Amino acid sequence: MEYNRIIDFHINNAICCHASGGGPARPKSYLAGGHPVRIFTDSRWSLSPFRFPLSRERQIGDGNDVTFAGIINRNKGFTFVELLMVIVISAVLAASGALLMRYVVQNSVYIPNKLNMDMLASDALDIMIEGDSQAKGLRTSRNITNVQDYQVTFNNQNNQSVRYRLDMSANKFYRSINGGAEALFPYYVPVGVTITGKSNRVFTYYDANEVITNNSVNVRWITMTLIAQTGSGSFANWEGQSEQISAVAVKRFQ
């Protein structure tokens, strides 16, 4: 093989050389005493100043056209800044993942509690309005005999005297039929669950003109608002709460 110029020199971490026409080139080297490197060029090439780290000699091309010998740094590793950036990014991702995981787990507890409270409040309203196998509800009332914010008494179509009462100290609903012993309803209310009204009342009574009244004789509409909850009902405490409202038209037969 013939080459216009052959440049032999030693470098450690960087080199800077310039070869031009008109005779052998005189390489400029920095930090000499490292590893031997041979760069081959032909007449079509003119080396300009360049700088690159040291690794191993590599020839590119065939035997008749060697254009460049690449050299790569042999001392690989991360700088302190790079390591610091990795740590910061990892911390951010870990914090985000922890918050997301907490939200998912919290929802897995809160949502079932919320659904249970929805079912409880809905069943209580359904019993008061429609009744069950033991007694018909307010929809079949013949007349309203007593009205209060937390209880109502009426006679249904079967001439049963029915009373619904919220125990404000225990926060439980009870039903009495024909003056008998009170029974909890819904019957499956678990321990730790409370039922309350809203704005210090469960029942609101309206006359035929849809004006609020406390006269049982004039009652034609009744609205009921129930709040069922576990504990405080707070999402942050992994508890559930349901607030439901319903209304029913009541008849009065003489």
pLDDT per residue as tens digits for the range 65-74: 444 444 445 5
Spatial separation of the C-alpha atoms in residues 220 and 217, rounded to whole Å: 9
Which range, of 16-20, 34-38, 72-76, 229-233, averages the lowest pLDDT? 16-20
Q: Which residue bears the tokens 């013939």?
A: 2
- Name 186's Cβ contacts closer than 8 Å, sequence gap at least 6: 120, 123, 124, 127, 173
**41, 5 in Cβ contact below 8 A?**
yes
Question: Which residues are 155's β-sheet partners?
Answer: 143, 161
Please provide residue 69's backbone torsions phi and psi, each rounded to the nearest 5 degrees: -110, 105
Dihedral over Cα of 79, 81, 82, 84: its sign: positive
State residue 57's pLDDT score.
41
Q: Which of 74-83, 101-110, 235-244 has the highest mean pLDDT?
A: 235-244
Separation CA 194–CA 227 (nearest Å): 8
Please, what is the average pLDDT of the chain?
Answer: 75
Report the pLDDT value the prediction gives residue 21, as an integer from 0 to 100: 45
Question: What pLDDT does residue 152 have?
Answer: 96
User: 76 or 13, which is more confident?
Assistant: 76
**Structural domain spans, the chain:** 1-75, 89-249
- Taking CA atoms, 97 is separated from 64, 118, 233, 235, in Å, by 58, 31, 26, 20
Q: Backbone phi, then psi, for 5, in 5-degree steps?
A: -145, 140
pLDDT tens for residues 134-190? 999 999 999 999 999 999 999 999 999 999 999 988 899 999 999 999 999 988 888
Q: What is the mean pLDDT of the segment spanning 37-61? A: 42
**Residue 55 clears pLDDT 70, i.e. is over it:** no
Span 215-245, pLDDT tens digits: 999 999 999 999 999 888 877 777 888 999 9
pLDDT value of position 32: 38
| CA dihedral sign of residues 89, 90, 91, 96 | positive
Percent of the chain with pLDDT strictly greater than 70:
67
- What pLDDT sits at residue 207? 93
